[in-house]
Amino acid sequence: MLTLPEKILFLLLAAGSLYYAYTGFRRVYLAVRRGGPEDRFDRLPERLGRALWLTLTQQTVFKRRPLVSLLHAFVFYGFVYYLLVNLVDLLEGYLPLEAQGGLWNPFNLVADLLTALILVGILGLMLRRYLLAPRDFTWNPRVPLHEGVRAGIPRDSALVGAFITFHVGSRLLSKAAGLAQADPDPFQPVASLLAAPLAALTPEALGVLEHLFWWGALGSILLFLPYFPRSKHIHLFLAPVNLAFRKEVPGALLPLDLEAEEARFGAEKLEDLSWKRLLDAYACIMCNRCQEACPAYATGKALSPAAILISERYELNGILKDFAQGKESPRPLMDFALNEEALWACTTCLACVEVCPVGNEPMLHILDVRRAKVLMEGEFPAQLGNAFRGMERSGNPWGLGQDKRLAWAEGLPVPTVEEKPHPEVLYWVGCAPSYDPRAQRIARSMVEILNASGVDWAVLGTREKCTGDAARRAGNEYLFFQLATENVETLNAVAPKTIVTTCPHCLHTLKNEYKDFGGQYRVVHHTEFLAELLRKGQIRVEEGTRKAVFHDPCYLGRHNGVYEAPREALRAAGLEVVDPPRSRERSFCCGAGGAQFWKEEEPGAMRVSENRYRELKATGAEVIATGCPFCMAMMNVEVAQDEKPLEVLDVAELVARGLKA
């Protein structure tokens, strides 16, 4: 098809294009390697297999925005097939190859139909981005952004959209011009449809058009390739890689080497982030789904998870050559990706991680910066200092005496490990049920249930200390390390078969993070334990008649995947259970996590708890059922300001109320 001069010209252009593309991709690779070490290479075959499956099925994309996801699927599957289509078209240009008839018919049919779907998909996505839903791609004025983002994203999207449209459209028109010189092809219905109006042209003109559009299709690739590494389109390759290396336990943090000489803890600059965090920045497709799911952003605060990664990406692109060569980045992350309000607004609810279609972990970027702020600079909200001192001196963030830790159990038959050194079930009460008057009622209900069940159980009593969750989420790794090592020593001495926790934050820390300090335990949430007791008939309850809406705690649901057990326990207790619109994986945070409970909420349009309480009340339920003492406390803040409030009760309280003798 191509003349000899055309073949030589294409080879020269391809060589230049590939050289510049290789240079760009190599710089991205070297930039990502500048990140700190993080072991994500365990069970590599399993990781790669999962990433391939998630990519080919587009499962992570279809979690939200079904219509948009369908349009994206048209483009994605079309482009996967176009890897073969472009190779065949290239061979047709260089060899006497006619991809018509016989075995080529199925190939041509799929190519023709996918071409149409790609065009429908990309035009639909462009229409949505620029006309129908542009606010999905904007930020509230409080959000800190890299100076290149506001103008850069629309420009990049336009370039990518134009490339896809021109590339695929040219290929379709080239085939149409070829068919106009012959008979319509039933295996290329779309191209044949376009060929009809071209049939009036002379064979010479059609030959020229076929050549021009061939160059338009494959030449556009050569023009785009050097830009590819800097564009959002790079996610086509990096998204599967990122999915392969995402965390097995999504919210678990890795310990810092606190004894390392000249160590830099946390992340002040780009090079302080781990390689996976830098990969996140390049894998980001800038869809803003994480922003849409973020409770801080939804309530008008300065935090946008998307803005953090996008700003990091734009900063990296701006310094890519020097950064890839090992030079220090010129400014701290707090100068372009975050500010104080955004940094301390995160509730660590994991919504941004759960919703991301490419496996990004924006929450961990925030926690890395918090670690640097606290450990390297000693800067944090003043109110957190009280909680830190309480945990350090008294073993609880309230700062109340350790000798009062068992005061909640006054008058109840509560065995301690002094009486039962090695119980089958250790009830880990937690700080809130130990010291907060309202949450103490949860612990008392648990005692009633445990005694009724006949299980062999005990509590640590005054030997129990805070797990350190709030300290770790606030960035105080030193304090967390101190508490974790003390608790692990205590728990290893007791060696219970099962630990039951009231608080999902305790559950998460004991189950997923203490293993890094030598603590390997079977840990279950009290709602799981209650559901099991009810299922086995170890406790029986009277039938109830009330309607309850269950609020999924972030650290029970998204962090640990427990959704059905609380509902099972409530239904077994005879309650009618309803779900709010945002439930299970999509549950909206109460606003307490990420150490928010211990500080003033950052400025915004409303409290996170207010947003959630309104949604729960709108279900028409009589009771808000919770599985977390901190969620309960946040809902009770709203109850106190409501003229017609709902009752807020823990699952354990609801089960205990219906216990049969």
Residue type, 147: E
pLDDT of residue 658: 85
Confidence category of residue 252, pLDDT binned at 50, 70, 90 = confident
How, if at all, do strands 547-550 and 425-428 pair?
Answer: unpaired
What's the whole-number average pLDDT of the chain? 94
Question: In the predicted model, what is the mean pLDDT of residues 309-338?
Answer: 96
What are 495-537's pLDDT values in tens digits? Answer: 999 999 999 999 999 999 999 999 999 999 999 999 999 999 9
Is residue 571 predicted with pLDDT exceeding 80?
Answer: yes
Amino acid identity, position 286: M
- Using one digit for the tens of pLDDT, what is the confidence trace for 400-426? 999 999 999 999 999 999 999 999 999
Give the mean pLDDT of 364-386: 96
pLDDT of residue 261: 66
Encoded amino acid at 394, one letter: S
Give the SS3 label for residue 548: strand
Q: Are strands 576-578 and 623-626 parallel, antiparallel or unpaired?
A: unpaired
Interval 291-320 mean pLDDT: 97
Which of 191-205, 272-286, 593-607 has the lowest average pLDDT?
191-205
The DSSP bridge partners found for residue 524 are 500
Question: Among 73-87, 131-145, 247-261, where is mean pLDDT lowest?
Answer: 247-261
Lowest-pLDDT range, 54-63, 101-110, 310-319, 379-388? Answer: 101-110
CA distance 333 to 352: 19
- Residue-level pLDDT at 256: 78
Q: Given pLDDT bands bounded at 50, 70 and 90, which one contains residue 62?
A: very high
Query: Computed from CA positions of residues 446, 447, 453, 456, in that sequence, does the dihedral angle turn out positive or negative?
Result: positive
Name the band, by pLDDT with cuts 50, 70 and 90, for residue 554.
Answer: very high
Tokens of 660: 């049969």
- What average pLDDT does the segment 295-322 reach? 97
Predicted local confidence at residue 373, as pLDDT: 97
Confidence class of residue 494 from pLDDT cuts 50, 70 and 90?
A: very high
Q: What is the pLDDT of residue 84?
A: 94
Q: How many residues make up the chain in this entry?
A: 661
What's the distance, CA 113 to chain centroid? 34
**Joined tokens for residue 530:** 């209650």
Residue 204 has pLDDT above 90, yes or no: no
Please name the residues in contact with 414: beta carbons below 8 A apart, sequence gap of 6 or more.
406, 447, 459
Q: Which residues contact 391 (CB under 8 A, 6 or more apart)?
A: 397, 466, 468, 470, 471, 479, 483
**Helices vs. strands in the chain: H and E counts, helices first:** 27, 8
Q: Decide if pLDDT at 50 tops 90.
A: yes
* Res 54 pLDDT > 80: yes
What is the band of 249 on the pLDDT scale with cuts at 50, 70, 90?
confident
Q: Which amino acid is at 97?
A: L
pLDDT tens per residue, range 474-485 = 999 999 999 999
**Mean pLDDT of all residues in 52-68:** 94
| 661 pLDDT tier (thresholds 50, 70, 90) | low
3-28, pLDDT tens digit by residue? 899 999 999 999 999 999 999 999 99
Please name the residue ranges forming H helices in 427-558.
Answer: 431-435, 437-453, 469-473, 477-494, 504-508, 526-536
Strand order in the sheet with 523-525: 457-458, 425-428, 498-501, 523-525
Share of the chain above pLDDT 90, in %: 86
pLDDT score of 604: 94
Q: Is residue 93 within 8 Å of residue 222, measured between CB atoms? A: no
Q: pTM here? A: 0.92
Q: pLDDT for 34-43, tens place per residue?
A: 999 999 999 9
